[in-house]
A and B are shown apart, each in its own frame.
Chain A
């Protein structure tokens, strides 16, 4: 996991960098806001730790520039004064979390891990059941015996049915719960039929059970 650490207090920076390395992080240490932006331009990081008080550009400015440039890497902001205003400034600029100085090293590591876990689960979210898995980014549905590409509403519907496997829903409920009522029960019904045929095609060991106008994803072929 690659982390960018921007902190102008050299001694603190050395200490934190060493501990993060011991924890298995790959750390790039920079000492002011401009260096931080240069590093972000040149490399990819899984997370960024920004001290709020830094020469040249402060943490808030760095964060603003990052987000303006379309960089949405998770950011943990370090605030010297643990004032409410400081924390709000950081979070409202787009920081994902903040930590007040002085902080316990353990807490920094825990927060960093939680940030990385969260962002990577967004990046690669796959849902699985039985022998099938659905990649929510690409909408690729595959089993050990085949694969198909779904369209977005199909993928949303299947994700929902996988998360609620075994529970039966009516077409109205599907429209409300999956699509916030923006589609229609008729569309829900059609899409359930699509999924039924598509799951069968890739030899899924789950199937769509249709009973008394309700639909559920169930075990078995």
Chain B
């Protein structure tokens, strides 16, 4: 958290950081329980973050909510978020099972945008969790874990750039091409999964 973020979150800041650490620790432990060997590790990497004050304020503004940390905590679910990047599609569902078995939180919903991709080609699996909070009269908050393959992550980061860049030539062409790339990458992800299954079956 930056100086600005600490100032914005105020009394909630330490607890948010604690939840961020909890996510990181629990996810790492779950992954290690399957394999601690980097060759066969489930995840390529894990990222956790507390939403920056600037981006939270913008989201609150867009939702017509007061621009305070409390409004965010009470209404939004991505103040604390984690992302798990896997090598293979199948690993996403293995991690999902581990998340569902973990007692540190309660799973609220699972949105599978891999099985049901968004129209622009976006693919990921989003798990909404509820964790105890207990600061300032807020008993619990929702946090989100996103699971995706390296290919999906690469695609999403490019698509993110498109979203935040206002003036781009040939936007329609870029949107079409991104969708085509997403479909090709998803196809390759499944080919790789199939090959891995065959290799493991021997």
Q: Chain A: residues with CB nearer than 8 A to chain B?
A: 140, 145-151, 190, 193-194, 197-198, 201, 203
Q: Are A149 and B184 in contact (CB under 8 A)?
A: yes
The bracket for how many chain B residues form the interface is 10 to 19
Q: List 5 A-B contacts (CB under 8 A).
A: A148-B184, A151-B187, A194-B191, A197-B194, A198-B187
CB contacts under 8 Å to A, within B29-46, are none
* Secondary structure of the B contact surface, majority rule: helix
Smallest CB separation, B147 vs chain A (Å):
16
Chain B: which residue is nearest A138 at the CB level? B180
Q: How far is the CA of A113 from the CA of B184 in the complex (A)?
A: 37
Given contacts A140-B183, A145-B116, A147-B183, A201 and B190 within 8 Å (CB-CB): yes
| Chain B positions within 8 Å of A203 at CB level | 115
A68 to B195, CA, bound (A): 45
Most chain A beta-carbon contacts within 10 A, residue among B114, B190, B197, B198 = B190
- Nearest Cβ on chain B to A219's Cβ, whole angstroms: 21
Q: Is B77 an interface residue (CB 8 A)?
A: no
CB distance from A144 to the nearest CB of B (A): 11
Is B198 a contact partner of A190 (Cβ separation < 8 A)? yes
Q: List A contacts of B116 (CB < 8 A).
A: 145-146
Choice from B114, B115, B117, B190 contacting A198 with Cβ under 8 Å: B190
The residue in chain A whose Cβ has the minimal distance to the Cβ of B179 is: A147
How many cross-chain pairs have Cβ atoms below 8 Å apart between A and B? 38
* A201-B115, A203-B115 known; A148-B194 Cβ under 8 A: no
Most buried by B among A145, A149, A190: A149
Contacts A149-B183, A193-B194 known; list 10 others, CB within 8 Å.
A145-B116, A146-B116, A147-B117, A148-B186, A149-B184, A149-B187, A190-B198, A198-B187, A201-B115, A201-B190
B193 at the interface (CB under 8 A from A): yes
- Report the minimal beta-carbon distance from A221 to chain B, rounded to whole angstroms: 13
Query: A194 touches which one: B183, B184, B190 (CB < 8 A)?
Result: B190
A residues less than 8 Å from B191 (CB atoms) = 194
Contacts of A145 in B (CB 8 A): 116
- Tell me which residues across on chain B come within 8 A of A148, comparing CB atoms: 183-184, 186-187, 190
Residues of B within 8 A of A190 (CB): 194-195, 198
Closest 9 CB pairs of A and B: A149-B184, A149-B183, A148-B187, A197-B190, A193-B194, A148-B183, A149-B187, A147-B183, A197-B194
Quick one: which of A151, A197, A203 has the most chain B CB within 10 A?
Answer: A197
Separation of A194 and B116 alpha carbons in the complex (Å): 19
Q: Which residues of A contact B184 (CB under 8 A)?
A: 148-149
Residues in B with CB closer than 8 Å to A151 are: 187
